[in-house]
Amino acid sequence: MREKLRVEHLKDQYQVGASTLREALSLLVSDALVSAEGQRGFRVAPISLTDLEDVTNTRVMLETEALRQSIRHGGDQWEAALRASYQLLTQIEDPASGPEPQLWEQRNKNFHDALIAAYDSPWTKYMLAILYRHGERYRNINWRLTAAHVTERRVHEEHETIFQAAINRQEARAALALEAHVRMTHDIVKRQTQLS
């Protein structure tokens, strides 16, 4: 069952008015993160393996092409921004200490954005931002599966492979590494949860 979003509770939690909250929820509806139920309110969008597969496949299709285009067209500024975002991400990817989830998620997003920054397609970037937010819901499930995260996932190595291939302008290698990286969340969630 999808969780009902209680407007009164959310108003209190975020200290906003009902109209502001309804407007925010309507924006989330437009990105399919929340569903509206007529006069009955809002619910969190459901999660399922079918949805995760669709999100993953679409993200791979768009993001790998955007990365290829960035590698082809990116200049010194792109490289500098990519290096900076990668360095910030690696500072918190120490497997021994484990990163703080929200900070890691933000730096991970910044790294992925930097990878495709030289691709001049606002629509692709907009669609990828939506897909990233959908994927974040599943990464949050994955994050709680700490044993799987530590033993199956070498995220730092995945990021390093993508980064090195991109900086060295190895389009095919970078795209394959990025695809494997994005698909890993799907694979771990599928193995470790009861999603259907």
Mean pLDDT of 87-100: 74
Do the Cβ atoms of 117 and 82 come closer than 8 Å?
A: yes
pLDDT tens string 145-189: 544 454 456 888 999 999 999 999 999 999 999 999 999 888 887
Q: How far apart are CA 133 and CA 59, in angstroms?
A: 11
Non-local (6+) Cβ contacts of 2 within 8 A are 35, 43, 44, 45, 46
* Domains, in order of start, for the chain: 4-44 (1.10.10.10), 49-192 (1.20.120.530)
pLDDT at 94: 61
Each residue's pLDDT tens digit, 97-155: 566 777 888 999 999 999 999 999 999 999 999 999 888 887 777 665 544 454 456 88
Predicted confidence at residue 23, as pLDDT, reads 79
User: How far out from the chain centre does Cα 2 lie?
Assistant: 21
Whole-angstrom Cα distance, residue 60 to residue 73?
Answer: 20
pTM of this structure: 0.80
- In this structure, are residues 183 and 61 in contact, taking their beta carbons and an 8 Å threshold? no
Cβ atoms < 10 Å from Cβ of 156: 15
A 10 A CB-CB count for 123 gives 8
Neighbouring residues of 39: CB distance < 8 A, sequence distance ≥ 6:
none
Average pLDDT score over residue span 23-34: 74
**pLDDT of the residue at 150:** 45
CB 162 within 8 A of CB 63: no
